[in-house]
Amino acid sequence: MENSQLQEPLAAARFIKVIGRGKDGARSMNREDACLLYGAMLDGRVTDLELGAILLSMRIKGESIDEIAGFLDAAEASFAPLSAPADAQYAPIVIPSYNGARHLPNLTPLLAMLLARQGAPVLVHGVLHDVGRVTSAEIFAALDMPVAQSVAEAEAHFPRHVPAFLPIDVLAPKMARLLSLRRILGVRSSTHTLVKIVQPFHEPVLRLSSYTHPEYLEMLGQYFTTLAPAQRGDIFLMRGTEGETVASVKRAQSIDWFHQGQRTTLVEKQLVADASPDVPAERDAQTTARWIRRVLAGEAPVPAAISEQVAHCLEVAKSVRERGGNGCADA
């Protein structure tokens, strides 16, 4: 298709008729239509009125696994992927960070740094700021770790055994525009789900993903076992710690591992909370960064739940690298 045709406006009414009939009357799109529609949304080829109708319709209806697959097809085609060092012993580990912390310290940067210093290429992607929350980007800044300004700059972090933080505005600017509409609409959209499961590398990776509402555990579990392309790597799925994909130091969540269409529970849900985890009482970026420095220097222990998470990540990332995606059929 010529570029001029790709930029033509898309009449979205036929899609809205399917998804916009309320919770009980709406139907789901097939994968091809979902890809077509989301691609047009990313390219700005639907009007603001249609875009608002689509976002709110999907918010009410909820995404099917075919729609998630189609949306991801369009999303991953909308930006340039990264590459890991050819001699890396581990597959890249991708950590989305879009929630930050409201009540507890955000320990996503600690997880990323523990993984990277073992030699794993670690990419953290997310937002720079979020009102009322402490973001991973703010903590990395307090640790004197600059935010990557390009894909090439992010890739340069990997051989140095330090994690790269890549803002979504740099990684996938078209997705970032849709993500930002929350400030206008006041509610999250499908893009908030997509950024937590997107695969931004050429090669197979280990993606860490989280959910906040129980229905997403079921929907994402079905997607990862039936439609997610196995040759794109493996996924860890867990209930988010205030939305972040780092294990809670108070009460460890269950972690499900999705690999080649199979689902394995790596960590069982912890029913009893740890009595007094050694974490800072304050959640601000400077306090969190100081505590992370102490942990990395061996002056404070790594919380047990995070240490276990690190071990599982390294083991699976190494197996993904060795497997290399060979012999896995495209879903």
pLDDT in tens, 186-207: 888 999 999 999 999 999 999 9
Q: Is the pLDDT of residue 294 over 50?
A: yes
Give the model's confidence band at 158: pLDDT under 50 very low, under 70 low, under 90 confident, else very high: very high
Does the domain made of 3-76 have the CATH classification 2.40.160.40? Answer: no
- All structural domains of the chain with their residue ranges: 3-76, 93-323
Q: What is this structure's pTM?
A: 0.92
**Tokens representing 101?**
């912390």
- Across 4-8, 36-40, 273-277, 315-319, least confident range: 273-277
Interval 212-242: pLDDT, tens: 888 889 999 999 999 999 999 999 999 999 9
More confident residue, 22 or 16: 16
Q: Is the pLDDT of residue 2 over 60?
A: no
The pLDDT of 285-308, averaged and rounded, is 94
Give the model's confidence band at 329: pLDDT under 50 very low, under 70 low, under 90 confident, else very high: very low
Residue with tokens 């222990």: 301
What pLDDT score does 38 carry? Answer: 98
Whether 3-76 and 93-323 share one fold: the answer is: no
CATH fold of 93-323 reads Pyrimidine Nucleoside Phosphorylase; Chain A, domain 2 (3.40.1030)
